[in-house]
Amino acid sequence: MAKFPEANARLMKNKFVCRKCKSVIRASNMMVIAGLVKCRKCKSRILRPARKK
Ligand SMILES: [Zn+2]
């Protein structure tokens, strides 16, 4: 099983979903934790990982 850092990140933590309007935002995990990522639509900073379970 080959491991690509980029693919791994994409699968793991690179996608976030706005809790307000549910639009999907692609951002690095670090950026989201640092609070630098805003939803494009509603400008909310409340995001959750795209993979819930
Ligand atoms: Zn939003």
Residue spans of the domains in the chain: they are 5-49
- Residues 6 or more apart whose CB falls under 8 angstroms from that of 3 comprise none
Distance of CA 20 from the midpoint of ligand 1 (Å): 5
CA distance 37 to 15: 11
pTM above 0.75, yes or no: no
pLDDT at 30: 87
pLDDT at 47: 92
| pLDDT tens-digit readout, 1-53 | 666 666 555 556 689 999 999 999 999 888 888 989 999 999 999 999 988 76
pLDDT at 25: 93
Distance of CA 35 from the midpoint of ligand 1 (Å): 14
Distance of CA 45 from the midpoint of ligand 1 (Å): 8
Distance of CA 30 from the midpoint of ligand 1 (Å): 19
Distance of CA 44 from the midpoint of ligand 1 (Å): 5
CA distance 53 to 50: 9
